[in-house]
Amino acid sequence: MRECGVRILVVLLLSALSASAQENPRVEFAKGLLDQSRGNRQEAAKRFETARLADPLALPLVQRAANRNLAEGNLAAAVTLYREFAAASPQRLDAQLLYADFLRAQGKGDGLAEKMAGATLEGALQHFPDNPAILERLFRTSEAKGDHERSMQLFETLTAKRPLSPAAMLLAADWSGILFKGDDLPARDRLDRLFEKAVEATPTHAALARAASEHFRKTNRLDRAIAALDQHVQAVPADLDLRTRLGILQFAANHATDGEATLKAVIAIDDRNALAHESLAKFYRKQNQTPLALPHADAVLRIRGGDPSEFLALADEWLGVNQPKAARILLEKAAFDHPADPAIAAKLAIATHRDPETRGKASVLFREAESVIPTDAPADPAFLAESASALIDEHRLPAAEDRLRKAIRAYPPDEKLQTAATLRQLADLWNSQNKNADAARALRQRADSLDPPAKP
């Protein structure tokens, strides 16, 4: 199908051209593609070469010819092609970089090839005196040679024209880490000014804003790190990644009100931004505002997923603040992600039973949970007590009583409140059947000793 498409395209191209136009290198190239699609490799190669000779400055044709020479093991011919191409195109940066990069790649450390590549780049620098692509290649060479003086000269050349372009600024930051010691304050101050001027000149450039912010953050100047990101966010409000980063930095700098507002604005635009939710959840937890933290922690798990322990811990928090519906919805996501996990199945049954909207569906979930809980697993008293309540709803009282007894025995000594609640639950069950009155009274006394009732 693809070959057929190529043929049709080439035929249409050829038919649209006059006989005189068919001497054009583009026509020869098109014919070469057609021959190649038909498997006529030698004829295609001739066509491509004819096209290149007709237009020796066409970069794709030069590259194709050079690659063919390399495939045939003729490195010298490939070098000649690139050298002649570069010599004929002194004002073309792509030609100079292509030749220099080819020499280095094929030379693999050969001294002559490196010298030729260096000479090509130095020549290109005369035409493009502050081009970051050229300077970056020359800098790598000088560093490989240990020529610190030349590296410093290149750094001065790179940073001479201010404000720096984003590409030049990012290189300057990298080179500074190589050329200057971390405690060189004059060098740091100079880099500070370069970053600030560059961000001010090009605030829309995300990589530049991030790099500037990281530079100031890593040197413990958070307000300046915030300022760099804020300029970018003001210029590009749609960049939610860096706006989220801005909110996190505002929290780190104790600008809590600003950080909260920034991250809330992010979520208002994209409520599936997990990092923004996570940051707000951490902030609210530090402020001991658990009710505000829970929805954001919940969103993180629903967006990113998590391991069973994370789902279970957050579900317990929801249940602890009497929000069984939220716990149930979260656990339904957990059950989808971890369908074979018995602890999640058990907790989902509990939350479903406690949620008034789904209480009637809980019995099925209790049975499903029981089917996946290993027979040798320790008894879960919370699961037993909740399933007993579901059995009571179904009027299966003997089975419920058996569950309550097992739950009472299974509670550890430190869970006094839970034990007391289950004791009272069993006492109420007996009282509702008008049986075991003395035993029920004893259970209540025991419950009161563990969890004394409030004084009127």
At 204, which CATH number? 1.25.40.10
Other Cβ atoms closer than 10 A to 229: 29
Which of 221, 236, 251 is the last residue in one of the domains? 236
pLDDT tens for 159-170 read 999 999 999 999
Q: Is 74 a domain residue?
A: no
Per-residue pLDDT at 421: 93
Looking at the chain, the whole-number percentage of residues with pLDDT higher than 90 is 74
Q: Which residue has the higher pLDDT, 381 or 2?
A: 381
Which of 213, 236, 259 is the last residue in one of the domains? 236
Of the listed ranges 15-29, 76-90, 257-271, 364-378, the least confidently predicted one is 15-29
pLDDT above 50: residue 119: yes
Cβ atoms of 303 and 272 within 8 Å: the answer is: yes
Q: Is 225 a domain residue?
A: yes
Q: Is 449 a domain residue?
A: yes
Residue type, 113: A
Q: Is 409 a domain residue?
A: yes
pTM (two decimals): 0.80
**CA–CA distance, 388 with 428 (Å, rounded to integer):** 12
**CA–CA distance, 389 with 401 (Å, rounded to integer):** 10
Helix axes 132-145, 111-127, angle to 10 degrees: 140
Q: Is 95 a domain residue?
A: no
pLDDT above 90: residue 51: no
Which of 177, 203, 236 is the last residue in one of the domains? 236
Q: What is the mean pLDDT of residues 281-296?
A: 96
Per-residue pLDDT at 456: 64
Q: What is the mean pLDDT of residues 31-56?
A: 85
pLDDT tens for 388-429 read 999 999 999 999 999 999 999 999 999 999 999 999 999 999
Q: Is 5 a domain residue?
A: no
Per-residue pLDDT at 21: 40
Number of domains composing the chain: 2
Per-residue pLDDT at 4: 56
Give the CA distances from residue 216 to residues 135, 168, 173, in Å, rounded to whole numbers and listed in that order: 25, 18, 12
pLDDT tens for 124-182 read 999 998 899 999 999 999 998 899 999 999 999 999 999 999 999 999 999 999 999 98
Cβ atoms of 406 and 387 within 8 Å: the answer is: no
Its domain, for residue 165, covers 154-236
Q: Is 198 a domain residue?
A: yes
User: According to DSSP H, which parts of 236-289 are helical?
Assistant: 240-252, 256-269, 274-286
Q: Is 66 a domain residue?
A: no
